Amino acid sequence: MQNTRLNNLVDFLWTRLGLWFANPWRRLSMILISFLFGFLVGQALCTTAGTGQEWILSGMLIIFTEAVNRLIYRVKFSKGQLNQTVDRVSWLADLVNSFKTGLVYSMYLEAFKLGS
């Protein structure tokens, strides 16, 4: 990629945002906000999609959660051993994972409320 002004600006902003998230309290607060936002989205999706019996949306949610699981909890092979490691390369992966956790948690609570 060429070293343009726009590329430099995006790299600078991405680096600054990463440094801002390096603070543990900010990181924890953003993870908590992401979890709660996932919970809110899950409640809204259950309310709207559950009344209309949207099967396509249910399939898309399953595909989303499985894709995030595959991204976060990849199995890495090293020297013939099977080591399951959590790939925590970036703060963005943590935010998406906590969003997914809130989404799935809200779906479980909705299922318990309905008694199914």
pLDDT digits 0-9 by tens, 43-61: 998 888 777 777 888 888 8
Torsion angle, CA of 49/54/58/63, rounded to 10 degrees?
-120
Residue 78 phi/psi, 5-degree rounding, is -135, 115
Maximum CA extent, the chain: 58
Flag whether pLDDT at 38 surpasses 80.
Answer: yes
Residue 15 phi/psi, 5-degree rounding, is -65, -45
Looking at the chain, the whole-number percentage of residues with pLDDT higher than 90 is 37
Rg (CA), the chain: 18
**Domain boundary assignment for the chain:** 24-114
Flag whether pLDDT at 81 surpasses 60.
Answer: no
At residue 4, the pLDDT reads 92
At residue 103, the pLDDT reads 94
At residue 88, the pLDDT reads 42
Model confidence band, residue 67 (pLDDT cutoffs 50, 70, 90): very high
Flag whether pLDDT at 37 surpasses 90.
Answer: yes
Alpha helices by DSSP H, listed for 21-90, are 24-52, 55-72
At residue 66, the pLDDT reads 92
Residue 54 phi/psi, 5-degree rounding, is -85, 100
Residue 47: which of 101, 100, 102, 113 has the closest Cα?
A: 113
pTM of the model: 0.73
At residue 53, the pLDDT reads 77
